[in-house]
């Protein structure tokens, strides 16, 4: 009876152990590296890093998104919290202004309007910020509108990709509607994670632009010992872009900065390691199976020795069972 139990145990154990090597060699998985955070920032006017007009920020990462919008700020903080600027962390919407007449028969007047919207649907996190010193609408947007020192910033993030986008204008006026009317823009810059997303220009009338960074147009105005002004800067590459219609250094104050309509964006792509298929890996005479895995499942590498051990243990138990069976046949009384 003991021999029968040993035989049954050996056969059952063999059936369990034999597949171990094969199963272990098939646990390789895809490893994904999420995209870096996306962000953007724009300022319509920055005086000595003390006074800011139309300053927007947006950011989005693997876990959250947030944004801020200051139509008028002093030392980085809204002059009047909620009226000249504010922020939003996590999904939601926040907005305000110092004055908003709302829609009237004559139009609408908004002084220091700002808004921030953050969204998260579980796959994509995004943030959008908008701020201006002044927005005017005459009768309705189809008649005439004017934005003064206005900026807009956007950012989004998924595991595969993050984006950043900004636009900023010194003054933008439209007569006759956006589609069929005439739009005049003074001092414009924009940055984007999209192709050819960095540019700036001094003056634009609809699609006609005068003094553009794309055409290599630049200007340098210098008053020795007082101020050095550089115009039309735009650059971009993999992972970041920037643009400015005008940036200056105040020589009289030790090179203190002065930005007029400028913005930056940061973005990137995620990476995915391909699935490792052991059947496609090279073999050699010395090692039956050689496989490595970047598996996020077990965290353990699968090697040729794992497979060999599994098969070896299985065959050893089979051999033990056969030996016990032969012993029973030679000694029938031992049952």
- What is residue 104's DSSP assignment? B
Domain check: are 115 and 153 in the same one?
yes
Domain check: are 24 and 162 in the same one?
no
Query: What domain range includes position 291?
Result: 2-30+274-334
Domain count, the chain: 2
Q: Of 270, 301, 323, which residue is a domain's last?
A: 270
Written as six digits, the tokens of 193 are 């994670």
| pLDDT tops 80 at residue 29 | no
Q: What is the pLDDT of residues 114-167, one digit of tens each?
A: 999 999 999 999 999 999 999 999 999 889 999 999 999 999 999 999 999 999
With CA atoms as reference, report the closest residue to 263 among 156, 170, 124.
Answer: 170
CA atoms within 13 A on the CB side of 215: 9
pLDDT level of residue 300 (50, 70, 90 thresholds): very low
CA 197 to chain centre: 16
Which of residues 246 and 174 earns the better pLDDT score?
174
Domain check: are 151 and 127 in the same one?
yes
Q: What is the pLDDT of residues 309-326, one digit of tens each?
A: 554 555 555 555 565 555
Q: Of 231, 254, 270, which residue is a domain's last?
A: 270
- CB neighbours of residue 326 within 10 Å: 10
| pLDDT tops 70 at residue 289 | no
Domain check: are 14 and 61 in the same one?
no
Q: What is the per-residue pLDDT for 141?
A: 85
DSSP 285-323: SS-S-------SSS-----HHHHHHHHHHHHHHHHHHHH
Q: What is the per-residue pLDDT for 161?
A: 93
| pLDDT tops 90 at residue 5 | no
304-330 and 2-24 are packed helices; what angle lies between their axes, rounded to 10 degrees?
160
Q: Of 218, 241, 270, which residue is a domain's last?
A: 270
Q: What are phi and psi of 85, to 5 degrees?
A: 170, 165
Integer Rg of the chain from CA: 34
C-alpha dihedral, 18 to 299 to 282 to 275, nearest 10°: 110
Q: What is the per-residue pLDDT for 173?
A: 97
Q: Is 15 strand, coil or helix?
A: helix
Residue 120 CA to residue 4 CA, distance in Å, equals 64
| pLDDT tops 60 at residue 75 | yes
Residue 320 CA to residue 137 CA, distance in Å, equals 92
- Window from 12-26, 107-121, 158-172, 318-332 with minimum mean pLDDT: 12-26
Q: What is the per-residue pLDDT for 286?
A: 47
Burial of 127 (0-12, 13-18, 19+ CB in 10 A): buried
Domain check: are 280 and 266 in the same one?
no
CA angle 284, 290, 296 (to 5 degrees): 165
CA 291 to chain centre: 34
With CA atoms as reference, report the closest residue to 162 among 127, 134, 116, 118.
Answer: 127
DSSP 155-190: EEE-SSEEEEEEEEEEEEEEES-TTTSEEEEEEEEE
Domain check: are 229 and 187 in the same one?
yes
Give per-residue burial for 129-164: e unless 16+ CB within 10 Å, then b: bbbbbbbebeeeebebbbbbbbbbbbbbbbeebbbb
Domain check: are 191 and 287 in the same one?
no
Domain check: are 139 and 228 in the same one?
yes
Residue 213 CA to residue 206 CA, distance in Å, equals 17
C-alpha dihedral, 116 to 120 to 123 to 126, nearest 10°: 10
Average pLDDT, the chain: 80
Domain check: are 317 and 295 in the same one?
yes
Domain check: are 182 and 209 in the same one?
yes
pLDDT level of residue 92 (50, 70, 90 thresholds): very high
Domain check: are 106 and 42 in the same one?
yes
Residue 248 CA to residue 66 CA, distance in Å, equals 30
Domain check: are 9 and 119 in the same one?
no
Q: What is the per-residue pLDDT for 295?
A: 35
With CA atoms as reference, report the closest residue to 53 among 117, 131, 123, 145.
Answer: 131
């Amino acid at each position: 009876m003991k021999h029968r139990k040993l035989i049954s145990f050996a056969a059952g154990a063999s059936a369990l152990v034999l597949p171990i090597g094969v199963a272990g060699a098939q646990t390789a998985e895809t490893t994904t590296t999420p995209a870096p955070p996306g962000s953007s920032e724009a300022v319509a006017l920055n005086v000595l890093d003390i006074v800011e007009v139309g300053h927007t920020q947006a950011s989005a990462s693997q876990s959250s998104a947030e944004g801020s919008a200051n139509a008028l700020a002093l030392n980085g903080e809204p002059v009047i919290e909620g009226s000249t600027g504010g922020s939003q962390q996590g999904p939601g919407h926040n907005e305000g202004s110092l004055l908003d007449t709302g829609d009237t028969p004559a139009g609408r007047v908004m002084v220091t309007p700002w808004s921030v919207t953050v969204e998260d649907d579980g796959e994509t996190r995004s943030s959008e910020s908008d701020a201006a010193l002044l927005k005017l609408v005459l009768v309705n947007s189809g008649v005439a509108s004017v934005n003064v020192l206005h900026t807009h910033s956007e950012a989004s993030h998924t595991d595969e990709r993050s984006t950043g986008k900004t636009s900023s204008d010194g003054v933008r006026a439209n007569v006759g509607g956006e589609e069929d009317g005439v739009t005049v823009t003074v001092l414009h810059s924009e940055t984007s994670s999209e192709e050819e997303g960095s540019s700036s220009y001094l003056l634009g009338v609809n699609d006609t632009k005068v003094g553009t960074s794309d055409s290599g147009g630049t200007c340098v105005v210098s008053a020795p010992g007082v101020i050095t002004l550089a115009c039309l800067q735009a650059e971009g590459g993999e992972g970041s872009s920037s643009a400015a219609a005008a940036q200056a250094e105040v020589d009289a104050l030790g090179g203190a900065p002065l930005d007029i309509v400028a913005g930056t964006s940061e973005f990137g792509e995620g990476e995915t390691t391909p699935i490792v298929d052991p059947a496609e890996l090279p073999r050699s005479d010395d090692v039956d199976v050689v496989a490595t895995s970047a598996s996020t499942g077990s965290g353990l590498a699968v090697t040729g020795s794992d497979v060999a051990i599994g098969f070896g243990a299985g065959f050893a138990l089979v051999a033990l069972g056969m030996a016990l069976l032969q012993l029973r046949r030679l000694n029938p009384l031992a049952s």
